[in-house]
């Protein structure tokens, strides 16, 4: 039985394939998060309101469903061993789309359940620093796109799982300084959040440029893979490079715009409060 999507030296067909390891992974995240909230809520959640709001539940569920779609057949199978374009689309989903949705589903009290002096508490606060988060995220991006890693890891189920998990962790780390739900965890100001997100767009230029402008296929795995819809390996690679910037960057630009408008909203609210205070005096 095949548990996880990995490269297969067989012609691609649109016949559905079961990957029970993917289902267990998604169920494990959902059930684990639910049990964690239920266990910690009685001691840490604010009294008088639900420990998790409906909006937070909705964000988390949507993120989990998109994670499932990115990992299971057909996207997971195509990306693991047939099309580099789909491989890149998976990276976008794992790093830029799914993590912010999952983080928006975390209640603000949950990170504080870990004592500040504990290993978990220290790690959460360290990774909320933009420099630390950027180093981790960029390291995962660059290493996971090295030819020996792609050609080697994607050929086995465990290796492919490792790449997928690393992308997800890298995405969660990347978005943590921006979306950490409690200000005592992340003290990054709005201007710094915007600058940090801009820096997140720079390092992906490196693999995107290699993919777009290389005269030959970089990855033997995708060069020798059975063709899907007669798409050549070099055309697939060039499309993957364009996708890495043409789709990924606008997602981050959108996040920068949202942060900017929230910043302006906070400033406007502070100005209104100050004017009201002056009137009272």
CA–CA separation, 66 vs 156, rounded Å?
A: 23
Q: What's the pLDDT at 67?
A: 99
Q: Is 149 helix (H, G, I), strand (E, B) or coil?
A: helix
* Nearest of 15, 14, 11, 17 to residue 3 by alpha carbon: 17
- For the CA atoms of 159, 240, 137, 106, the dihedral, rounded to the nearest 10 degrees, stands at -90
Residue 155 CB coordination number (10 Å): 16
86 falls within a domain: yes
Mean pLDDT, the chain, integer: 95
Of the candidate ranges 22-36, 175-189, 242-256, the one whose mean pLDDT is the lowest: 175-189
Asked if 80 and 6 touch (Cβ cutoff 8 Å), the reply is yes
Residue 199 CB coordination number (10 Å): 14
Of the candidate ranges 200-204, 211-215, 277-281, the one whose mean pLDDT is the lowest: 277-281
Residue 118 CB coordination number (10 Å): 11
- State mean pLDDT over 155-164: 98
236 falls within a domain: yes
11 falls within a domain: no
Domains contained in the chain, number: 1
Residue that wins the pLDDT comparison between 112 and 237: 237
Task: Give the rounded distance of the alpha carbon of 268 from its chain centre.
Answer: 31
153 falls within a domain: yes
**Half-sphere exposure (Cβ direction) of 217: Cα atoms closer than 13 Å:** 19
Compute CA distances 180 → 67, 69, 145, 272, whole Å.
20, 25, 27, 27
Q: What's the pLDDT at 184?
A: 82
Q: Quick: pLDDT tens for 226-257.
A: 999 999 999 999 999 999 999 999 999 999 99
Q: Concatenate the DSSP letters of all residues of 158-216 into one string.
A: HHHHHHHHHHHHHHHHHHHHHH-SSTTT----HHHHHHHHHHTTTTTHHHHHHHHH-SS
207 falls within a domain: yes
CA–CA separation, 114 vs 120, rounded Å?
A: 6
Enclosing domain of residue 35: 20-280
Q: What's the pLDDT at 204?
A: 97
265 falls within a domain: yes
- Give percent of the chain with pLDDT exceeding 70: 99
Q: Quick: pLDDT tens for 39-95.
A: 999 999 998 889 999 999 999 999 999 999 999 999 999 999 999 999 999 999 999
Q: Is 277 helix (H, G, I), strand (E, B) or coil?
A: helix
Q: What's the pLDDT at 179?
A: 95
244 falls within a domain: yes
CA–CA separation, 228 vs 110, rounded Å?
A: 45
CA–CA separation, 234 vs 217, rounded Å?
A: 6
7 falls within a domain: no
């Amino acid at each position: 039985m095949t548990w996880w999507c990995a490269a297969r030296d067989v012609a691609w067909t649109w016949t559905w394939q079961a990957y029970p390891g993917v289902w267990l992974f998604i169920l494990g995240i959902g059930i684990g998060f639910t049990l964690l909230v239920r266990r910690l809520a009685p001691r840490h959640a604010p009294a008088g309101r639900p420990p998790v709001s409906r909006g937070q539940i909705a964000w988390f569920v949507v993120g989990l469903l998109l994670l499932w779609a990115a990992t299971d057949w057909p996207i997971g199978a195509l990306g693991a061993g047939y099309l580099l374009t789909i491989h890149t689309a998976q990276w976008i989903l794992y790093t830029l789309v799914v993590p912010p949705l999952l983080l928006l589903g975390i209640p603000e009290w949950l990170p504080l359940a870990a004592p500040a002096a504990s290993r978990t508490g220290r790690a959460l606060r360290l990774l909320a620093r933009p420099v630390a988060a950027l180093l981790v995220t960029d390291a995962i991006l660059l290493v996971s796109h090295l030819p020996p890693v792609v050609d080697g890891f994607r050929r086995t189920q465990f290796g492919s799982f490792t790449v997928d998990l690393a992308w997800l962790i890298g995405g969660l780390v990347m978005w943590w300084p921006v979306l950490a739900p409690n200000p005592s965890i992340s003290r990054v100001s709005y201007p710094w959040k915007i600058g940090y997100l801009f820096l997140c767009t720079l390092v992906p230029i490196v693999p995107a440029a290699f993919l777009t402008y290389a005269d030959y296929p970089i990855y033997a795995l995708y060069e020798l893979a059975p063709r899907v819809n007669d798409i050549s390996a070099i055309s697939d690679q060039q499309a993957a490079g364009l996708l890495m910037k043409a789709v990924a960057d606008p997602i981050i630009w959108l996040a920068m715009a949202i942060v900017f408008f929230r910043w302006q909203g906070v400033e406007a609210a502070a100005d209104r409060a100050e004017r009201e205070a002056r009137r009272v005096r």
